[in-house]
Amino acid sequence: MELLKNRIVHESAIVSQDILRLDSILNQQVEPALMMEIGKCFVERFKDAPITKIVTIESSGIPVAFAVAAQLNVPLIFARKKQTVVNDPDSYIERVPSFTKGIVTDIVISKQFLSKEDHVLIVDDIIANGDALKGLIRILEEAGSSIEGIGIVVEKAFQDGAKYLRESGFNVQSLVKIASLEEGKIKFVD
């Protein structure tokens, strides 16, 4: 997606060799028109899948996941990142390490929202090591839902998450793949 690559080149900040800040595009500001455009790309890439639900993890994944859900007219479920007094006690919980926060986090989805009949498209903003997504997949497997695919806006291809998920048999579609952030420069795959 050339538009997105251009935005990334001009607006992102390289924090370190591993970390790219995409605040004005995905992580703090979002433009609805760009999100809907990105959503359309995912709808096109998974057009043959009988998707009944979009699932993401709070919170940067929500705008793009919402854009996909709106275009498919299916519900969006967002996993919460912590058990609180408000969570449904009858929930799936998986503990995962958080790459950007340097801590472990529980990801939580109430059992009522996932069933064996569901065909789920996972949508998220960025994949690095993929730890949170692996936890989400364990939840979906426990619920017996079918995972139709995984749509990612920005894949950091120099980290192992997306590679691992593809090798595990998932249809992972990334709109932009970053090969490296070394020497203060963004190199894209291809």
Question: Which spans of this chain sit near a second copy (rule: CB under 8 A)?
Answer: 13, 15, 19, 21, 23-24, 27-33, 35-36, 58-59, 62-63, 66-67, 69-70, 73-78, 80, 82, 84-86, 88, 100-102, 109-110, 112-113
DSSP state letters, 137-178: HHHHHHHT-EEEEEEEEEEETTSSHHHHHHHTT--EEEEEEE
Q: What is the nearest approach in angstroms of a second copy to the Cβ of residue 169?
A: 27
Question: What region does 149 belong to: left with phi over 0, alpha with psi -120 to 50, or beta?
Answer: left
What span, in angstroms and rounded, lies between the C-alpha atoms of 87 and 93? 11
What span, in angstroms and rounded, lies between the C-alpha atoms of 62 and 142? 23
Q: What is the nearest approach in angstroms of a second copy to the Cβ of residue 68?
A: 9
What span, in angstroms and rounded, lies between the C-alpha atoms of 23 and 25? 6
Q: What is the nearest approach in angstroms of a second copy to the Cβ of residue 142?
A: 16
Q: What is the nearest approach in angstroms of a second copy to the Cβ of residue 63?
A: 5
What span, in angstroms and rounded, lies between the C-alpha atoms of 142 and 158? 30
